[in-house]
Structure 1
Amino acid sequence: MALPFIEIIESVTPDPNLLMWKFADADKEIKSGAVLTVRESQHALLLNEGQLADVFPAGKHSLETRNIPILTRLRGWKHGFESPFKADVYFFNTHQFVNLKWGTPAPVLMRDPAFGQVRVRAFGTYNVRIADVGRFFREYAGTYPLLTITELEWQLRDFIAPKFAEALAQANIAVIDAVGSISALNEKIQPLIQPCFTAFGLEVTMFTITSITLPEDVLKQYDKITGMNMVTDMNKYSQFSVANAMDKERSEIGDAARQAVAFGMIMNAGASAPAPVNTSPTDDVTVRLKKLKDLFDAQLITETEYTAKKEELLKLL
């Protein structure tokens, strides 16, 4: 018993994540004059005997000779055809697929005038849609029964990373500018990335870099440079650095700083102040002993240091 011919061809998108899916024809032949309905944000492709016959945009189409001249040529009919024919029909979602993720699995090498060669990581998102159904089918999709955006996204991640590195090199952007002006970098990178997608029949409607991560040593150096650029009074900066070190009670640099300040105060007491009038050596030693005790009470010197210096001053009496 012969199978009935297909007279109506249409398909509601079974899954919003589908890029392409094959119309289930149950191996039936298509009747000449059959109606093909393609909805908005869809395209349909007709494949006959392994060759692309035609691509149909949104609308209602009658599958007749005058509407499919390529099919007539492929089958070698000089006067058109009225008999049923066998063809595969594929539907495509042509709307935008948004917020797809990309990133650099390995660091990308950048040349920078200040830091030399720097390895950076970058991450972001992009929106894409099928712009040329025929090219997308030939260059990428092939004859898969269905293809999802997830599969495309995973394959494009490995494709975008090296292209991003090339585009970054062509843009000739300094590392600091790349980190500080991501929006401007987006505008430079997208036109450089687009030709790579065009080859597959795709259009990138938006390409965004959400973050660029620098190596730890570069970040430390950048922080030092930024900090020094903010210093306007080097004397105050030195005093602040010493005080900051002294606050680190258990660090070696903190101990050294406290000892340096303490001994400086003891040995140079009175050096920066006006010389006292009519003071005896005994008075001077007494003053220094009091200061020494104050330093000990403030825990700026250890008990051993306090005792040793105290004995030294007492010998002067």
Structure 2
Amino acid sequence: MGFFGNQFSDVVEWEEFREDQIFWKWTNNEVKKGSKLIIRPGQDAVFMNNGKIEGIFEEEGEYDIESQIVPFLSTLKGFRFGFNSGMRVEVLFVNTKEFTVRWGTQNPINIPSPQLPGGMPIRANGTFQFTVSDYIGLIDKIAGVRDSYIVDDVKIRITAILDQLLMRWISKEGKDMFNLQANAHEIGQGIQDDLNMQLMEDGLKVTGFQVMSFNYPKEIQDMINKSASHGMVGDVAKYQQISVADAMGKSSGSNAASDMAGMMMGMNIAKEMMDGQKEQESGKQQNTAGTGSMDSATQPGANDKPAPKFCPNCGQKNEGAKFCPNCGQKLVS
């Protein structure tokens, strides 16, 4: 703290408030007797001396620094303004809003996969939110050496480690590489927790992280879309046979990743077809066995003798009956 007799300030305020600015440090002038502090909505004012916090003021409004601010400062509460002297302090104005930032991978991320030696190249995009949560950490790590800090500064830092975090959480065991959107919430929650560990010491807190979409190479995305659309209509088994043949025919013109992906999908589909065929054959065998037993029960035995055309007792004509319709004589033994 120093005392000077010139260039005193009447008002301490953040005049050029920006929505994308996280904090701004007031350091231009000394505070003199009768000076005012103005805190606007969405701002906190942190008084500092030699890099340490003297007091934090959160309520918006206009304050007389001598009577309403100085008495609450940690080490400066006994200070009295003189006629030609002022008080030099730093005032850090902090934007208290929750910031929302859009993110996206600039280059494809090769996600390791046992079926794809070169990895699956995937892009992703979404949003994340953060706020200032710890003024001590913010001052120690950032505000102590900078006069301002904007959202793009945080975005650059997060983007630098985002590829690693995406690779880590997409590669978690059990993830379906061809339907990552189903696990988007789980992946986003895992990345949010990891980012918090990275930014916590800077006084920042990530309050949300969302993955809006995953983007595959065009050849693979076309296969996924085609499979999904045909799966909702008609004969799926027949379409799968056509898809396997189609994928094999086009594989020579695609890149290595899509070739391997096509082969993997084709093998899975072929397995499903074989399993379905086995089930059908098993069902036919059961039906055949049932029919054979029924036929043997209903057909006449090979040793049965045909009935005579005339009754040997009374001579009545017979039409194949086992007993004579006239005298009742048994005709078949």
Question: What's the TM-score bracket when you normalise by the shorter of the two chains?
Answer: 0.5 to 0.7
Cα separation, 1, equivalents of 2:240 and 2:11? 85
| Per-residue CA distance 1:125-172 (angstroms, 9 max, x = gap) | 222222223322322344323332233323332133323333444575
Runs of 4+ residues deviating >6 angstroms: 223-230
Cα offset, 1:224, TM superposition? 8.8
| Deviation digits for residues 236-281 of structure 1 (CA, Å, limit 9, x no counterpart) | 957xx79xx9xxxxxxxxxxxxxxxxxxxxxxxxxxxxxxxxxxxx
In structure 1, what is the equivalent of residue 120 of structure 2?
A: 118
8 Å Cα contact 1:139-1:200 kept in structure 2: yes
Contact 1:100 1:127 (C-alpha < 8 Å) held by counterparts: no
CA deviations 1:36-72 (Å, max 9, x no partner) are: 2322211222232343433332335555554111x34
- The answer (yes or no) to whether the contact 1:110–1:120 under 8 Å persists in 2 is no
Residues of 2 paired with 1:51 and 1:217: CA distance? Answer: 58
Name the structure 1 match of 2:42.
Answer: 41
- The residue aligned with 1:67 is 72
Note the aligned Cα RMSD (angstroms).
4.0
Report Cα offsets for 1:104-133 as digits up to 9, x if no partner.
Answer: 545142446x65753422222222222223
| 1:129 paired residue among 131, 135, 150 | 131
Give the number of aligned pairs.
232
Partner of 2:164: 162
Match of residue 175 from structure 1: 177
| Greater mean alpha carbon deviation, residues 132-141 or residues 168-177 | 168-177
Q: Percent identity?
A: 16
- Structure 2 length normalisation: TM-score? 0.55
Alignment correspondent of 1:15: 18
User: Relative to 1, partners in 2 of residues 1:218 and 1:85: Cα closer, same or farther, differing over 3 Å?
Assistant: same
In the alignment, structure 1 segments of 5+ residues that lack a partner are 73-78, 246-317
Unaligned runs of 5+ in 2: 250-333
Partner in structure 2 of residue 57 of structure 1: 58
Query: Does the 8 Å contact 1:121/1:212 carry over to 2?
Result: yes
Alignment of 1:1-317 (within 5 A): 2-3=5-6, 5-23=8-26, 25=28, 28-31=29-32, 34-60=35-61, 63=65, 64-69=69-74, 71-72=75-76, 80-83=78-81, 84-103=86-105, 105-111=107-113, 117-169=119-171, 173-183=175-185, 185-215=187-217, 219=221, 232=236, 234=238
CA shift, 1:225, in A, is 7.4
Corresponding letter in the other structure for 1:31 = K
3-state SS of paired residue (1:175) = coil
SS in 2 for 1:125: strand
> Structure 1 residues 110 and 41 mapped into 2: Cα distance closer, same or farther (>3 Å)?
farther
Larger gyration radius, structure 1 or structure 2? 2
Distance in 1 between the 2:222 and 2:100 partners? 36
Amino acid at match of 2:25: K
